[in-house]
Amino acid sequence: MMSAIVPGTVVWIALAGSVVVWLGVLALSAGRLVGPRRVVGWFLGSWLSRGMILAAWGAAGWHIFCQRP
Amino acid sequence: MRHSAVVHRPQRAGAVPIAYALLAALILALSAWQAQLSRDSSGAHWSVALLVVTAFGAALILGRGRQDQTTRRWVARNVHFVRIWRTQSRSAVVSALVWAVLIGGVVAWDLVSFVVQSHALPTLSYFIGHVTRYAVGRGLLFAAWLGVGAYLVSARRAERRQ
């Protein structure tokens, strides 16, 4: 188990921070910017994109619940 | 403009809340059961595989004639958006760019970390593993996973076309 913060963790923290900042900007934009609901809606707009996002969902579930501790 | 292809059927007021309540109860029961399983158990393997297959089957059944756009039209609209990006509103372009960078960044960094397989580059599932190693965490995350799956299967459906 890792106890110190490794370089990869720093990148994840930066990515998480960016997401939080962006969600804050979206909350303040009063609907002028494209929010997460519309992004998900975009993914669900066609059979191809819906199938791809469902495949990613299934793969994530398999990895998390059948391969990870 | 004609709308004759779209059928507007009256909603059955009582049926929808009951269906949602049953779905929520099923998700909770499955999650409580899944929380007790380990990643190596055949029950975990079979249940996840069966749920993924069921999700695809349900998406096909629910989406028959009710998908928002054809894939060709969806692709064409996105290509058109990219081609004429200079004429789009600034907010639309900024939003698209930021979302692309964030989603692409997470996926790319996770892939890099997975391929390199180094303790210095933990994957996203490494952090998730800290949650799923406990029964409560595994159960809660499983419920969230099922909820997301149910949304991806059922959301954004158009009215059925004749």
One digit per residue, the tens of pLDDT, for chain A of length 69 reads 555 789 999 999 999 999 999 999 999 998 899 999 999 999 999 999 999 999 999 999 999 999 865
Of B45, B49, B51, B56, residue with least CA distance to B27: B51
Contact A20/B at CB under 8 A: no
| Partner-chain contact B119 A6, CB within 8 Å | yes
| Partner-chain contact A11 B109, CB within 8 Å | yes
| Partner-chain contact A62 B52, CB within 8 Å | yes
Residue ranges covered by each domain of chain A: 1-31, 34-69
State the best of A1, A21, A37, A64 to mutate against chain B, taking most chain B CBs within 10 Å.
A64
Contact A31/B at CB under 8 A: no
**How far from B21 is each of B27, B54, B58, B103, CA to CA, in Å?**
10, 19, 18, 32
| Partner-chain contact B152 A44, CB within 8 Å | yes
Burial classification of residue B117, based on how many CB atoms lie within 10 Å of its CB (0-12 exposed, 13-18 middle, 19 or more buried): exposed
In Å, how far is A21's CA from the nearest CA of chain B? 11
pLDDT, tens digit, 9 for 90 and up, residues B34-53? 999 988 899 999 999 999 99
pLDDT at A4: 74
Please report the ipTM that was assigned to this predicted complex: 0.89
